[in-house]
Structure 1
Amino acid sequence: MISNFMKKYFITQKMMRTVIISLVHLILSSIYFFGWRSLVLLFWVTLFGVAIEWIYEKKQGKKVSEAIFVTCILYVLTLPPRTPIWIAVVGIIFGVFFGKEVFGGFGRNLFNPALVARAFVYVTFPEPLTIEWSKAAAGFPGGFATYITENIEAISQATPMLIFRETGEMVTSLKLLLGNVSGSLGETSAILIILAGIYLIYKKVAAWQTMAGVLIGFTGLSGALYLLGNPQIPNPIFGILSGGFLFGMVFMATDPISSPRTKEGKWIYGILIGVVTVIIRGYALFAGGMMFAILIGNTFAPIIDEGVNYFKKLKKEDKKEVTA
């Protein structure tokens, strides 16, 4: 019955279902670390996200794409646990409409709609998105026994990146790997995100070239600046394990629609994102940086592909001249 309903109203997309499967354990971990409110937030965001796409696609005589579920999940997992539901809903409406539908719907969007939504609420409602954080639960049953975990009052005790900016102290790698630190709903546990990345690469859904490019760009520049003694740049390992870096690298940067199509382009695109992330984290007002770095990468993705194809064409012409 559910299968017939999905086929009737949605465009079936096996790739999107694979991504959803890779996100299930992160949804569960968001409940464990921060409480059942994360599921409530996901419900309302998904409801309005699907609704806004359905309204638009119905006018075009088209079905809703299953990609909308991925967009909603990714967006929610980037939000702080205490994000007001109405703000989250406003964000997904903006992201789906202006980040996807105005470009013509699925497959035509220039920017990742989940990141468009996140950037919009971050800039428009900075206080609840940057100040209101929750402590991560530990032990059994963790957040499964509460609606939402305890509030963090001092900004110097909030997320790992904010703690580093305020005090210069770095949270231990073990805590960052396990995820029992404050942060956005699905971005705290490095191990779970890495496992998801391995699964997506195995299923050939996410481009490993993009992920490798991001790591190279980030590690190269942050490592160089760290060794030069720049106090604003933490060691690369801490930077990789915190600030939503891995989540953005695995799920956002690899979006097949808003990233380059060519293999060479994926490397260039990934390196660009990694480098820009370091610059934003170290010298801008934003503690994370990954979100804006990917959106900047999205802007250059078509140009990167054009450049790669142009040089390939020149190379072919040179070969023809040599053989002639």
Structure 2
Amino acid sequence: MKQAMMRKVLYSLLPIVCAGIYFFGLRVLALLIVVTLFACLTEWVFVRKTTHKITEAVLITAILFTLTLPPQTPYWIAIIGIIFGVLFGKMVFGGFGKNPFNPALVGRAFIYVNFPKFMTVEWTKPVDGLLGGFTTYLGQPIDAITQSTPMLIYRATGETAPIKDMLFGNIAGSIGETSALLIILMGIYLIYTKTAAKETIFSVLAGFLIMDSIFYFSGFQQVPNPIYGLLAGGILFGAVFMATDPISSPKTFQGRIVYGLLIGCITVIIRGFALFAGGIMFAILIGNTFAPILDEAVNAIKNRKKLPVKEGK
């Protein structure tokens, strides 16, 4: 089933996939192919006896899910994650257009909780050279916390990675979350083509910066400075590609503003005070649970304002 909006999202993800291969190796492509195959197979099992076909949305789910994984993620864990995400994040609710949660994040959260070692400890150094990972299967594994992801390094040592490396992607991390500059450029494309709701993106970032600034300038050492926090840990990727999912996010303008602010604030709290170094994944899933309520509240307020005022009141 062809979907114009999904295709634009697909176009925006292709450069990030290529960057993931460049930084971490051809294993990224192999992992993406395996994940996509099982994502399509899972959806096909549910639609094969109907007139419906596999949607383009499942391809987006597979790519997004893959981009949130560490490059070394075992194939079998990735398969379990995408099957769980498509099955329990989408198909059990009736398929495309009916899922209350982002399926890619449902799958990612499931394997994150059940297989934490593979999702939080085993990272990969970016590949050097002009052609980068296009000439190798996988970059060198990292065996020291001081060389891992920017947020893990900060939490363990208080040290910060170079801003330049985080902008261009020369850091360890999940496949699609390392290059802040590339994510920003793709976000501009999605906003320009009216594919992603700009109010959601900006409110997520605003909520994050406000809450992060409050804790940072109040002296909480476990919270990094706002700019560093914005470029590290996948907040940009989550704001641009995950929070803007048109199905699991609010439909009203005001609802999206509150939704985004909520996600941004919760991300900072989880990062600084919970066990998880990232936070954006769980923050978006929490935001998904509030999306219908926010729309109901906004519509109720609008309808109340439209009610005629009785004479004598």
Q: TM-score range by the shorter chain?
A: over 0.9
Task: Quote the residue 1:8 is aligned against.
Answer: none
Task: Quote the residue 1:313 is aligned against.
Answer: 303
Q: Secondary structure at the match of 1:41?
A: helix
Q: From 220, 228, 233, give the equivalent of 1:230.
A: 220
TM-score with structure 1 setting the length = 0.95
Task: Quote the residue 1:156 is aligned against.
Answer: 146
Task: Quote the residue 1:276 is aligned against.
Answer: 266
Task: Quote the residue 2:182 is aligned against.
Answer: 192
Deviation, structure 1 residue 321:
4.6
Please show how residues 13-28 of structure 1 align to structure 2 within 5 Å. 13-28=3-18
Task: Quote the residue 2:163 is aligned against.
Answer: 173
TM-score with structure 2 setting the length = 0.98
Q: From 57, 72, 81, give the equivalent of 1:67.
A: 57
- The residue type equivalent to 1:216 in the other structure is A
- Is the counterpart of residue 295 in structure 1 residue 273 in structure 2? no
Structure 2 unaligned regions, length at least 5 = none
Please show how residues 232-251 of structure 1 align to structure 2 within 5 Å. 232-251=222-241
Q: Secondary structure at the match of 1:64?
A: coil
- Is the counterpart of residue 52 in structure 1 residue 42 in structure 2? yes
- The residue type equivalent to 1:236 in the other structure is P
Structure 1 unaligned regions, length at least 5 = 1-10
- Is the counterpart of residue 93 in structure 1 residue 93 in structure 2? no
Deviation, structure 1 residue 166:
0.3
Distance of 2:72 and 2:311 partners within structure 1: 64
- The residue type equivalent to 1:104 in the other structure is G
Distance of 2:145 and 2:249 partners within structure 1: 34
1:138–1:180 CA contact under 8 A, matched in 2: no
Deviation, structure 1 residue 307:
0.5
- Is the counterpart of residue 103 in structure 1 residue 89 in structure 2? no
Task: Quote the residue 1:265 is aligned against.
Answer: 255
Q: From 155, 168, 182, give the equivalent of 2:172.
A: 182
Deviation, structure 1 residue 64:
1.2
Q: Secondary structure at the match of 1:302?
A: helix
CA deviation vs aligned residue, 1:40-76 (integer Å, no higher than 9, x gap): 0000000010011011012344211110000000000
Deviation, structure 1 residue 172:
1.6
Deviation, structure 1 residue 14:
0.8
Task: Quote the residue 2:275 is aligned against.
Answer: 285
Q: From 294, 297, 304, give the equivalent of 2:294.
A: 304
Distance of 1:83 and 1:134 partners within structure 2: 10
- Is the counterpart of residue 134 in structure 1 residue 162 in structure 2? no
Distance of 2:28 and 2:50 partners within structure 1: 33
Distance of 1:138 and 1:15 partners within structure 2: 35
- Is the counterpart of residue 83 in structure 1 residue 73 in structure 2? yes
Gap change, CA 1:321 and 1:38, over 3 Å in 2: farther
1:262–1:305 CA contact under 8 A, matched in 2: yes
Deviation, structure 1 residue 137:
2.0
- The residue type equivalent to 2:26 in the other structure is W
Q: Secondary structure at the match of 1:56?
A: helix
Task: Quote the residue 2:245 is aligned against.
Answer: 255
1:226–1:235 CA contact under 8 A, matched in 2: yes
Distance of 2:197 and 2:146 partners within structure 1: 36
State, as a whole percentage, how many aligned pairs show the same letter: 58
Distance of 2:275 and 2:290 partners within structure 1: 23
Distance of 1:321 and 1:236 partners within structure 2: 51
Q: Secondary structure at the match of 1:49?
A: helix
Task: Quote the residue 1:218 is aligned against.
Answer: 208
- The residue type equivalent to 1:48 in the other structure is F
- The residue type equivalent to 1:66 in the other structure is E
Superposition RMSD on alpha carbons, in Å?
1.3
Aligned length: 313
